[in-house]
Amino acid sequence: MFRPLLLRLLPLTLAREFSHIPKLAAGQKPFHLDSSDDVDIVTGSRFYGLKTFANLPYVHCFSGDGASAPEAFDIAFIGAPFDTIDNPYVLKGVTARPGARYGPGGIRTGSQRMGAEFAWSVYTGRNPLKSWATVVDCGDAPLVWLDNTVAIKQLDKAHRVVSGRKAANTSYSVTPRIITLGGDHTTTLSALRSTHKSWGPVSVVHFDSHLDTWDPKVLGGDISDYASINYLNLGWSLTHGSRLRQNLILNSSIHAGIRAPLSRAKGDMRNDLRCGFHTIKARDLDRIGAAGVISQIKERVGDSKVYISVDIDVLDPAFAPATGTAEPGGWSTRELLTILDGLIGLEVVGADVVEVAPIYDNPGETTVLAAAEVAFSFLELMVETPVKSLAD
């Protein structure tokens, strides 16, 4: 029935495709490419070469003694491809689904549309890639996967070497800052050790659905040598009750976005206070708005130096399904980015986005896209507010 009609329409379709030559603008010349013409294979695309965060230059930052970097930089992205499975004989850094070791690559994939020439914020009017800071991607720290203790020592050394380089623009600071792409939340420990050495104790602004400061005794055990590494899987928990007590953070730290169930009605919160934290719950946003959350965070940390850690599960699973322990009832991507933008002016000396497990993402890659935006927000905060280190 329809075949005669289609046969009559086909010539009209073909005729329309080749019926005229497109009009050229004034001064524009027609471009005809043949086999003898040369083409540019160096610039002009965001989808070529090594996959770096926001198409930044790649620098091999982990070699040498820390003083002989081939290229100097002020802010470096490094990947921490680390997570651990539920194994009774090793440290457990993942409380549910493993896969965050692939997070750094996923976050870089989510950042591929970003680049210096197209990074002006419609909200702030700033472009951190067109400012004073030299920003690079150091790639992933090479971590073994069979021995967690060795892996953490390797990540410690990677942070130590990268932060030990001499910054490119020493009038701002002689010490470069690091943004870590995780990896599970254990990786924050190495970052905190690094920032403590270069800047001293910090206030931690921790975005998460979980407190992550549980006393191991309520989970069925004491603090073994393995468990004391992350107690339970966060470096800042080492400030209370651990044989590895290191005083890495100040008692002016704060959680934001908390909503996961507790193991004890009141005991978990009491323990959390002893760890130095106050708490903003996820539903507090409905009552005080983003401006209220920003105000509470700034009031809590005061004029101290700040480390920001974002567990991507602070977002609702509708926005970030690709994570180890998803909790319904979280914030939207827009709400989180609004709050991060509102922290402008804080002296951010280090930051991470963790617990991204790309295998659980959807075809639209909403989780890795969100994580990339979070990491870019860190960059904007750092560029806007330079911070002098202890070495300055």
Angle, helix 366-384 to helix 103-110, in steps of 10 degrees: 80
Single-letter amino acid code for the residue at 101 = R
> Hey, which residues does 158 pair with through a beta bridge?
none
Distance CA 231, CA 92 (A): 10
Say if CB 259 and CB 212 are below 8 A apart. Answer: no
Residue type, 372: A
Residue 356 DSSP label: B
The single-letter code of the amino acid at 73 is F
Annotated binding residue 32:
no
In DSSP terms, 79 is beta-bridged to 140, 181
| Assigned token pair, 305 | 């130096």
Rg (CA), the chain: 24
280 phi-psi bin (left φ>0, alpha ψ -120 to 50, beta other):
beta
- Residue positions counted in the chain: 392
| CA dist., res. 239 & res. 93, Å (int) | 18
311 is in an annotated binding site: yes
Q: Which tokens hold the place of 368?
A: 């890795």
| Cα–Cα distance measured from residue 385 to residue 392, given in angstroms and rounded to the nearest whole number | 16
> Helical H runs in the chain?
3-17, 103-110, 148-163, 188-199, 227-230, 267-274, 284-301, 333-341, 366-384
Residue 137, annotated as binding a ligand? no
Alpha-carbon torsion, ordered 355, 95, 248, 168, to 10 deg: -20
* 114 in Cβ contact with 376 (< 8 Å): yes
| Distances 163 to 38, 70, 158, 189, 240 between C-alpha atoms, Å | 43, 14, 8, 15, 26
316 annotated ligand binder: no
Is 212 annotated as contributing to ligand binding?
yes
SS3 of 303, please? coil
Annotated binding site for Mn(2+): 185, 208, 210, 212, 311, 313
Annotated binding site: 185, 208, 210, 212, 311, 313
